Structure 1
Amino acid sequence: MLVFPLINDTSRKIIHVDMDAFFASIEERDNPELKGKPVVIAKNPLETGGRGVVSTANYAARKYGIHSAMSAKEAYELCPQAVFVSGNYARYQEVSRQMHDIFHRYTDEVEGMALDEAYLDVTVNKINAASAVKIAKMIQHDIFTELHLTSSAGVSYNKFLAKIASDIEKPKGLTLIAPEDALDFLAELSVKKFHGVGEKTAEKLEALGITEGGDIQKSSPQYLAEKLGVFGWELYLKANGIHNVPVKPNRIRKSVGKEKTYGKLLYLEADIKAEVSKLSEKVGMILQEKQLKGHIVVIKIRYADFTTFTKRLSLDDKVDDVYLIDQSAQKLLDVALRDNVGIRLLGVTVTGL
């Protein structure tokens, strides 16, 4: 068996800051009447004919099983008494900028992943602090006292572990995974907690007898690569605490897209159009969160026979508006749609950012 040299950089000090129910918390902060009530950031499905997707929900709403990317209709069915708020993305962007101002007091090595989360490399920092935990506590304190919001933080030597750590004690948590503790921690971690392991991949791994990180650690990288391709090798590295990807302060995104594969083929035009609308809404929300706009809308269609088509439409202006994206995608759909042929995949992308 080939032996791969596993080079692990444990010298870095990485913090992952994740705001607690960011959008909903801003709404609660700015509207005290919402305190204690289940708050869902989505258009009220009673006013939209059931359309719309949940952007986020506060912890009171999450107790009912409501989560982001769920349809607003389903959220209403789970909790009819929830307060639905359409969302003020300009306001959320403003608060996010204030949050990033706080980050930059400590380091300029900041990689924003969305409006509500970011990685910070504080190996070298502006206050010359040796402890990343100390800096994380100071950031959480600044966010709470200045923005009146709470955040959770994870601290470790790489981005993968820092992100997992930030989710361990939500809300208001702070968790450190030190280099000497990483392998034991990962050995007990469910494979479902590994980034990129969705429901289907988890089922594949379970069929191989792999349910925890320790099972991956005991497997050979060749075996995992044979079963899962390149992703198997990536899992092997992560399970061994290796993720040498640096924080990238100037990460440039060229496109924003969402696609979905359907286990049951779509045939009805109304269903297909509804799915395209859902995808368009998700893409629009990401664009707004990332403060991006694009002028090219692309749809992707894969039919039952696996033939795949893409169509694109160039717009005069750059957009991030959900309605305009959906309107453009629907126009493309009208051109590309084939009669009486089932669809197994749909995608909507905005590029030319």
Structure 2
Amino acid sequence: MTGEESSTRPRKIVHVDVAVGSPAARGVVAAASYEARTFGVHSAMPSVTAQRKCPELVFVRPRFDVYKAVSLQIRTIFAEYTPMIEPLSLDEAYLDVTENLKGMEIATEIAEEIRARIKTTTGLTASAGISYNKFLAKMASDQNKPDGQFVITPKNGPAFVARLPVKKFHGVGPATAEKMNRLGIETGADLKEKTLDFLIENFGKSGPYFYGIARGIDNRQVKPDRVRKSVGAEDTFPQDIHSYEPAREGLQPLIEKVWGYCEANEIGAKTVTLKVKYADFSQITRSKTVPAPLPAIPDLEEVINLLLAPIFPARKGIRLLGVSLSSLERRRSETTPQLRLAL
């Protein structure tokens, strides 16, 4: 497709052929390679379980300084093609190449060049989705992972959405997908049949978004250098958690995910919030705000530990934990001393 009304959203695969985590008995998998996933290994899984499912599994401890350096290399490559870059994490971003610095008209050629440059510069593979809006670019990038690309044209967009299960829609989590299924919505075609009023009544402010994407419409712009109000991650556990250690292990991948976003976008956070949802679906939140942005992931872990410890012994089983960061601000360009905070 041409650069007009198009966007690319390459996804960079940082860890290939390994699972990131710790081989310790009480460690958890932070991220799993595609090869590991074929054995049933996934993020937040206890390392001992992962090792049992895949005896040849290779564990690599996280190296955030290296990840950030490689991410910056990739960001530099993006910037050679367009200033319209919206990073989502250390390893993925939206690019708007409608007007690009190379004067290239074909978005698929831009994606091919970028993927080749990433491979040559970093040795990493990348997948890319090319389409005319952010939602479909995201959906397209999932089609040929970990080392390929896929195009969804304006002509094919509505049909692609129509046959896609709503549980695979970007922005539709497990709980929302389950609710949609209860309402008789299992595919994009089913979603398209619902009126805007129906979707607003059942899904609130997300209703207009669902109404649009069911028709292949997503008017969100690629927003370079945006600072979000907050960034968060949460996970529902297969079995309720009753003690501190499993809860802390389950939180680690979430901590790394939100910190990775902040690192990729050079954002600092002063407020940390812990979300706890119990087996009866009641929930609590606990927050702490520090005087200055947290300088490093150990500082975030320390705050989480302080918030988590007082809720034990738990009054009932815990089904979900979440971590969010707010009071976000751009980090200063000058080097900031990495001082431990008095918490």
Give the structure-2-normalised TM-score: 0.82
Alpha-carbon distance in 2 for matches of 1:189, 1:259: 25
The answer for the alignment partner of 1:24 in structure 2 is: 15
CA distance in 2, matches of 1:276, 1:144: 32
User: Are the aligned partners of 1:281 and 1:326 in contact in 2 as well (CA < 8 Å)?
Assistant: no
The amino acid across from 1:181 in the alignment is N
Is residue 96 of structure 2 the alignment partner of residue 105 of structure 1? no
Contact 2:74 2:118 in 1 (8 A): yes
What secondary structure is seen at the aligned counterpart in 2 of 1:310? strand
Map of 1:320 onto structure 2: 296
**SS across alignment from 1:54:** strand
CA–CA distance in 2 between the matches of 1:237 and 1:263? 33
* CA pair 284-146 structure 1, distance change in 2 beyond 3 A: closer
Give the corresponding residue for 2:93.
118
Secondary structure, counterpart of 1:180 in structure 2: coil
Describe the SS at the equivalent of 2:226: coil
Are 1:296 and 1:315, in contact at CA under 8 Å, matched by a contact in 2?
A: no
Task: Check whether the contact 1:53–1:281 (CA below 8 A) recurs between aligned residues.
Answer: no
130, 143, 167: which one aligns with 1:155 = 130
Number of aligned residues: 325
- Equivalent positions of 1:170-249 (< 5 A) are 170-249=145-224
Letter in 1 for 2:226: R
- 1:54 maps to a residue whose letter is A
Trace 1:5-154 onto structure 2 (pairs within 5 A): 12-19=5-12, 22-25=13-16, 38-44=17-23, 47=24, 49-55=25-31, 57-154=32-129
Q: Which runs of 5+ in 2 are unaligned?
A: 329-343
State the Cα deviation string for residues 126-179 of structure 1 (Å, max 9, x = none): 122221122112212222233332211111111111111111112322211111
Runs of 4+ in 1 over 6 A off after TM superposition: 262-265
Shift of 1:207: 2.5
1:166 and 1:128 map into 2 onto residues whose CA distance is 23
Q: Cα deviations across residues 68-96 of structure 1 (Å, max 9, x unaligned)?
A: 34443432232122010003221222121
Please give the secondary structure, in 2, of the residue aligned with 1:118.
Answer: strand
Tell me which residue corresponds to 1:4. Answer: none
Tell me the SS of whatever aligns to 2:99. coil
Give unmatched runs, 5+ long, in structure 1: 1-9, 26-37
Q: Closer, same or farther in 2 for the Cα pair 1:61/1:128, shift >3 Å?
A: same
Name the aligned partner's letter for residue 228 of structure 2.
R
Give the whole-Å Cα distance in 1 for the aligned partners of 2:252 and 2:146.
32
Q: Distance in 2 between matches of 1:123 and 1:205?
A: 34
Work out the CA distance in 2 between the residues paired with 1:215 and 1:284.
Answer: 37
Q: What amino acid is the match of 2:136? A: L
Q: Distance in 1 between matches of 2:242 and 2:274?
A: 17
Greater share of helix: 1
- The alpha-carbon distance between structure 1 residues 147 and 283, as it changes in their structure 2 partners (threshold 3 A), is closer
Change (3 A) 1:127 1:254: same
C-alpha contact 1:293 1:320 (8 A) present in aligned 2:
no
> SS at the partner of 1:153?
strand
Contact 1:301 1:345 (C-alpha < 8 Å) held by counterparts:
yes
Q: In the superposition, relative to structure 1, how do residues 67 and 334 fare at CA in structure 2: closer, same or farther (>3 Å)? A: closer
1:162-173 aligned within 5 A: 162-173=137-148
2:44/2:250 contact within 8 Å kept:
no
Residues 13 and 270 of structure 1, relative CA distance in 2, 3 Å threshold: closer
Contact conserved, 1:12 with 1:121, CA < 8 A, in 2? no
Q: Deviations over 1:169-206 (max 9, x none)?
A: 12322211111111111111111221122223222222
**Secondary structure, aligned partner of 1:81:** coil
Cα distance in 2 between the residues matched to 1:146 and 1:273: 37
Match of residue 228, structure 2, among 253, 274, 288: 253
User: Residue 53 of structure 1 contacts residue 282 of structure 1 at CA under 8 Å; is this kept in 2?
Assistant: no
Whole-Å separation in 1 of the counterparts to 2:245 and 2:119: 46
Give the deviation of 1:289 after TM superposition.
4.7
- Measured at CA, do residues 276 and 161 of structure 1 come closer, stay the same or move farther in structure 2, by a change above 3 Å? closer
Q: Any conservation in 2 of the 1:93–1:115 contact (CA below 8 Å)?
A: yes
